[in-house]
Structure formats: structure tokens, C-alpha cells
Structure 1
Amino acid sequence: MDRKKTDMETGRKQVVCYGEVLWDVLPSGRKPGGAPMNVAYHLCRLGIPSVLVSRIGDDTDGRALLDFLSGMGIAIDFVQVDEQYETSRVMATIGRDNEVSYQILEPVAWDFIQYDPRLSTLIHTSDVLVYGSLAARSTQSHATLQQLLDHAKYRLFDVNLRPPHYTPELIDGLFRRADAAKLNSHELAQVSNWLDIGRGSEDEKVRRLQERYELGEIIVTKGAQGASYYTPGTRRDFPAIRVSVTDTVGSGDAFLAAFLVQKLRGEGNETLLELATALGAYVTTKTGACPHYSRADLDHFIWENTLRKREDKKAPHN
């Protein structure tokens, strides 16, 4: 008897991104932001449907964010509206070496994400739940996240430390719920020090994290030094692409989205982060976390970089 094929059988994938959505107030003006929203944005641009679970205020800023999300193809059915707390704004300052610091105001709407029984079905029928530490700063949003993690097939923890909005105890608990984690080299050092495993090489620190939390995958991003992908038995290193940086806002989120795209499409470990390093670099050449681009734009950027590397190899060295 004929029956309707499921999403998994037809190859359709879906990712849920949980947490903050906000306006990044940059020196160049305000831009939509928030790590979960950024990841959802880049997933959509690369052809993977994404759903954002967050909360905005019943205000002009919130309505503008909904218009942006809808325009970008991000599902907003689970972006709640709060009548008491306002839409989040973050003051972003770009310092030396293009490093970005943030002043994150509180309380704001996404501190109060409510559990909705429909969310359990959403999570259960999706392939990945991406979550970070910032939205877990509040009791309400943390409790909702814990309920959603109970239903997730694959739980990816984007560590994303934003002082002073975390504690070692909070991060420890979020690691314990994860199947995989992404963190930068500074976060790896900080987490390792908390756990008293801070001595030794990057490889040794990652292996200790894997053992402590039984993590199947860990990604360490290292800016101009590239990134490394770890499973319990392997390590793959991926070089960075040299670019002229405009700002680094959201580059890690773009990286994570591209990693998920390749993973969901069955890319092998040997090349799993190639698209991720390319998209992360591409975003740093633009302003803000969510520049407009097509896959053709990204492919052209990769092609240009490939040509440049070939020319560098041909050039005589003194």
C-alpha cells in the first residue's frame, strides 16, 4: 500500500536553533543578531530549513526582527512575543585585531522563553538542536532548554561564552547534555582550567573533554590558525583562508552552520570543515553577522581562494 514518505526518507533535513535573537548595535549601524539566529540564517542560505525558538518584545524592534526572519526564510512559528520585556539589543564594540566585545543588556524577552508542548514535537521531528550558553543565563529559558534537550536526536552545544553571563556549573551542565560541542581556542583554555585539565596540548585538552562528557565530536576554531575537528579516534586540521577582515561578528556562527550543512549531507570527516572555514572567512569580509549572499557568491569566493593558493605555490621563494 502506498504511503506518504517521511522527511528522513526523502532526504529533507531540519535544524532547530534555540536561544537569543536581538539587534547588534555596531559602529556601522544596527544589524540582526544572536548566535542561534545567525546559525539559522546561514543554514537557510545554504539550503537547510531551520526553525528559531526564541522570544521578542511586543515592540517595534521585535516586529522588525520578525520581518527580517520571515524575509530570510527562517521559520518564526516558535518565536514568542513577550508583553512585559523588550526585544534585546547588544552594544558591540570592535577593538584591536578585529576582536568584538559585547554589552548584553538584561532582562530581555529571550530570558523568558516558555515551554510549549508543540516544541517537543518540533524537536523530535528535527535532525539537530543547536543551543548555546547565553540564553541559559536565566532560570526560565534554561528550564525550557532542558525540556527540549530530552527530545533531541542530536544535541550540538555552541559554547559561546559571554562574560559575565555564565558560571562553570552552568557550562558543565550544558556539556553533559551534548552529543557534540563547538568552542574556540580561548574557550577551550578557560573550560579546561575550570575542570583542572588545563595542562598540555590542545589535543590533550580535547581528549580529556571527550572522555569527561562522552562527546562524539568537538570542533575547535582558532581564527587565523584555522580549525580542528575531533572524534574519539581522529583529528582533522583545516587551515584558515587569508582574507582582509572587515569585522568578525558572527563568523563562528556561519562556520557552525556550514559544518552542519556538510554533516547533514553526509560529507566525510576529511573534508567536513572545508565549507565551514570558507564561509567563516567570507563573513569576516562583510559587515555584520548576516550579510546577503548566495551559494554562487560563496562558491566564487572559494574558487578565487583556490586560484590564489595555486599562484602562491608557483611564486618563487627567496
Structure 2
Amino acid sequence: MNNIIVGLGEALWDMLPEGKKIGGAPANFAYHVSQFGLESCVVSAIGNDALGNEILDVFHEKNLKYQLEKVNFPTGTVQVELDAEGVPCYEIKEGVAWDNIPFTEALQTLALSTRSVCFGSLAQRSKVSRETINRFLDTMPDGEGQCKIFDINLRQNFYDKEIIENSLNKCNILKINDEELVIISRMFGYPGIDLQDTCWKLINKYELKMLILTCGTNGSYVFASGEVSFLETPNVNVADTVGAGDSFTAAFCASIIKGKSVREAHKLAVDVSAYICTQSGAMPVLPETLKKRLR
């Protein structure tokens, strides 16, 4: 099986207080995977406009491979406001290019060569991109060590129960934060407020290999095959938290693919995301001390 790792969904500009920075969870994920020496690819759509061309320029500069269709919709933007602790609040523009990712012959070919993929709920808010994501997941070959990561990434009101349940049925790894887990518990009618109990219910119901639960400053968990790994969140000087979760997912995925244990993968993911929090924007270059841990 080919070892291409795909970030599938939105590619956009985060309009931060200090200016615009490239963003979108799948692009962030693919970029950080590539920093660990794995072949990655961003799949999305951009507009026939200056912002779309700038995305291509940034991806070229970062040596990030991509399959971005140009469509007759504007390139996506997100207005980002940061609170006093650097935590972002998003205003996500609608009717944009990444809402209209077409399923092309080239994308089918890529899917057949993809070992692992990370996708979320946000890019499924529109029918066109939702159908493309589902076709991509269905086209991927099954195989040992394959990761289909659903990084749920609930934003604004751009999700519903049907989309969430369908994605849970198609993934084998779920990444979710504590606030999202509460929303999902209410949506699916799970009683009680025990987060770990809810995680095991999701693993059993949807036959997941693993579930990653992040709890901000309160640490993170990985549930896998009857074991639970918990690590505290490092105390760092936060510039902003934009893209930190995506870098966590990328480092974890890269570690698992390279044969690391769940605990080792979890530790690297925590350390990488902590570093990202000390930097502005979602795609800083990782220091060699982190990258060499997978060499």
C-alpha cells in the first residue's frame, strides 16, 4: 500500500489581528505530517482569485504537496479574534471554494494510493464537499495500519447528527475535545457526565481503534484496546492556539504510522502541540529536536 497521508477538507486564510495566515485543519495536518518526513497531500478547493494563488505560493514555499481544484467560488477566509489567553473565536465565511470540492478522476487516483486520511465535520457543511469526502473515504483501500481519522472540529452551527454519525461509521480513529464530547453526548442521548465512560461507549458502538480526547490545559487522553494514556498539558507561554490541535493529530498519526507505541505517539503529539502554541499561526517550522524523534 502507498503511504500517502491526506488532509481532506478546508484550505483557507485565517484573518488574524496581525494579518492573514494560511489555515484550515486539513492543510495544517498535512503540513505537520510532512515535517516528519512522510508523504502528505492537502485536498481542497480554491477560487480563481488572488487569495487562491497566494495559497498555492505558500504551499510551494513550504514544499507541501496538494491537490487543489480551482472552482468558481471565492477562496475561503475565517475572521479570527483572540481572547486574552490567545484562544481563537472564528467567523467562518460561507459559500466559498472549499464548500465545493469536486470528486475528480485525479482525486479518485489519489484515494486509491492513500494510506491514511484526516477529515472533519466543517467541510461537510455543504452537499458537494460532503459527497466528495464520503466518496474519497469509500475509495481508499483497506489495509493494515490504515488510519481514517475523524477530527470532529465542531464549528459554529455547521454540523448535525446525521453528518456526525455517518463520519463515526466511516472513521477508525476519533479526535475530539472535551467541549465537543459534551455536545455529542447530548446529541446522542448518552446519560451522565463521565467523559471516559462516554469515550468507551463511542469506541464500542462505532468499533474505533482509538479515541483521542483533548481537554485544553487539563491534559489529554488516548483510549486504545483497553488501555488509557493520560498526559498533562505542558505549561508554555501561549502566542495563540490556532492549529495546535491539528499539529497534535499530525504528530500522533505520523508516530503510529512509523510504528511508535500509543504512549510514545501521545507524548510527541503533546510536545508538538505545546510548541505550536508558543508560535503565531498554524504552520510554523518545527524544531529539529521534535522532528528527529521520528527518524
Give the TM-score of the pair, scaled to structure 2. Answer: 0.93
Identical-residue share of aligned pairs (%): 33
Query: Which residue is 2:88 aligned to?
Result: 100
Query: Which residue is 1:168 aligned to?
Result: 161
Query: Which residue is 1:283 aligned to?
Result: 276
- Say whether the 8 Å CA contact 2:36–2:291 is kept in structure 1: no
Query: Which residue is 1:213 aligned to?
Result: 206
Partners in 2 of 1:299 and 1:121 — Cα distance? Answer: 30
**Cα offset, 1:227, TM superposition:** 1.0
Gaps of 5+ in 2: none
Query: Which residue is 1:228 aligned to?
Result: 221
Deviation track 1:212-262 (CA, whole Å, cap 9, x = no partner) reads: 211111000111122100124111112211101111111000101100110
Give the one of 266, 275, 293 matched to 1:273.
266
Gaps of 5+ in 1: 1-5, 8-12, 303-318
- Say whether the 8 Å CA contact 2:221–2:231 is kept in structure 1: yes
Partners in 2 of 1:294 and 1:96 — Cα distance? Answer: 27
**Mapped pair 1:59 → 2:49:** yes
- Say whether the 8 Å CA contact 2:251–2:265 is kept in structure 1: no
Q: Map 1:29-108; keep pairs closer than 5 Å.
A: 29-76=19-66, 78-82=67-71, 84-108=72-96
Give the TM-score of the pair, scaled to structure 1. Answer: 0.87
Partners in 2 of 1:39 and 1:14 — Cα distance? Answer: 13
Deviation track 1:25-77 (CA, whole Å, cap 9, x = no partner) reads: 0011110000000001111122111111100001111001001112212112x
Partners in 1 of 2:114 and 2:250 — Cα distance? Answer: 15
- Say whether the 8 Å CA contact 1:92–1:100 is kept in structure 2: yes
Report runs of 4+ in structure 1 exceeding 6 Å deviation.
none
Partners in 2 of 1:295 and 1:219 — Cα distance? Answer: 25
The structure having more radius of gyration, on CA atoms, is 1
Query: Which residue is 2:249 aligned to?
Result: 256
Q: CA RMSD in A?
A: 1.6
- Say whether the 8 Å CA contact 1:255–1:277 is kept in structure 2: yes
Partners in 2 of 1:155 and 1:203 — Cα distance? Answer: 22
Partners in 2 of 1:204 and 1:96 — Cα distance? Answer: 33
Higher relative contact order (CA 8 A, sep 6+): 2
Q: Read off the aligned partner of 1:102 and give its amino acid letter.
A: Y
> Any idea what SS the aligned residue of 2:139 has?
coil
Give the one of 106, 123, 133 matched to 2:111.
123
